Amino acid sequence: MSGSFPMNGGNGIYSYTKNSEFQREALNTIKEMIDMAIAEKLDVKHLTSTSRSIHLADLGCSVGPNTFIAMQNVIAAAEKKYYAKSLSSEKLEFQVFFNDHISNDFNTLFAALPWLSKVPEKLLDKNSPTWNKGKIHYTGASGEVMKAYAAQFESDMENFLEARAKEVVVGGVMVLAIQSLLDDVDQSKTPSGLMFKFVEAGLMDMVNAVSQ
Ligand SMILES: C[S@@+](CC[C@H](N)C(=O)[O-])C[C@H]1O[C@@H](n2cnc3c(N)ncnc32)[C@H](O)[C@@H]1O
């Protein structure tokens, strides 16, 4: 048969995400066998002298969430073996490679990962003073909205820096090129603020045209 037929993407009622309990059971069934294979066969001795990085690949990962459980099981078993041998107290590093057909819904897979930045949730609450109706950004929005974005930025940035701190070698350097704003400058008067205002106006026109 030619062509590829990946699992149904998204989160709908017919999606793989919502219809993969059977495969999840299979994962639970083989967990013990994987634990045993790692305990017996995985060579962790060389990790101390060269690198403490282990690469995992899930060939046929689909859209999740099963792949996260599968990879977490492998990570836990590898860590158990490594620390049981008392080879080093240094943390192991794991890099997980998700592989599937090119038409697999990787967006749903990666959207399920917890560390990704997002629109502040409060903006989506219609009953909250942070409900950002008719806007796509904090440009020209209320102080409450600005605070919600600032809090989200703080949390995203902390996650980002924590992750990078684990990756950068001792003595290494990281350069961060990022937009910023002086305290006394009105965001809506800056080039990016104007750009958001124009895009917002265009999008609102389109929404209004469709809803008329
Ligand atoms: C039944 S799903 C299992 C998904 C996941 N491993 C789980 O346990 O939930 C099988 C997956 O294998 C993928 N697959 C099949 N043939 C493949 C190939 N040649 N290369 C990459 N992925 C493939 C399919 O697209 C599908 O996502």
Taking CA atoms, 28 is separated from 11, 18, 55, 78, 209, in Å, by: 23, 17, 22, 17, 51
Which residue did the predictor score with more confidence, 64 or 99?
99
Instruction: Among 12-16, 113-117, 134-138, 187-191, name the one with the lowest average pLDDT.
Output: 113-117
Q: pLDDT value at position 16?
A: 96
Q: How confident is the model at residue 20 (pLDDT cuts 50, 70, 90)?
A: very high
106 and 134 fall within a common domain: no
Nearest CA to ligand 1 atom 15: 60
Nearest CA to ligand 1 atom 12: 60
Contact 59, 99 (CB under 8 A): yes
Q: pLDDT value at position 46?
A: 77
CATH number of the domain residue 98 falls in: 3.40.50.150
Residues with CB under 6 A from ligand 1: 6-7, 20, 23, 27, 59-62, 66-67, 99-101, 104
134 and 173 fall within a common domain: yes
Residue 14 lies in a domain: no
Separation of 99 CA from ligand 1 center, angstroms? 8
Residue 101 lies in a domain: yes
**Rounded mean pLDDT of 162-170?**
84
Nearest CA to ligand 1 atom 2: 62
Residues facing residue 98 across a β-bridge: 58
Q: Which long-range contacts (CB under 8 A, 24 or more apart) does 205-208 make?
A: none
pLDDT over 90 at 122, yes or no: no
Count of CB atoms situated within 10 Å of the CB of 127 = 5
Separation of 206 CA from ligand 1 center, angstroms? 39
129 and 102 fall within a common domain: no
pLDDT over 80 at 33, yes or no: yes
94 and 29 fall within a common domain: yes
107 and 126 fall within a common domain: no
Q: pLDDT value at position 100?
A: 96
DSSP E strand stretches across the chain: 53-59, 93-99
Could you give the CA distance from residue 23 to residue 27 in angstroms, rounded to a whole number? 6
Ligand 1 pocket test, candidate residues 62, 99, 103, most atoms within 8 A of CB: 62
Could you give the CA distance from residue 131 to residue 150 in angstroms, rounded to a whole number? 15
Taking CA atoms, 146 is separated from 1, 78, 90, 178, in Å, by: 54, 44, 41, 18
Separation of 28 CA from ligand 1 center, angstroms? 17
pLDDT over 90 at 171, yes or no: no
pLDDT over 70 at 116, yes or no: no
27 and 105 fall within a common domain: yes
78 and 150 fall within a common domain: no
Domain that holds residue 64: 21-111
Vertex 209 angle, CA 203 and 212, to 5°:
140
Q: pLDDT value at position 48?
A: 67
Residue with tokens 């977490």: 72
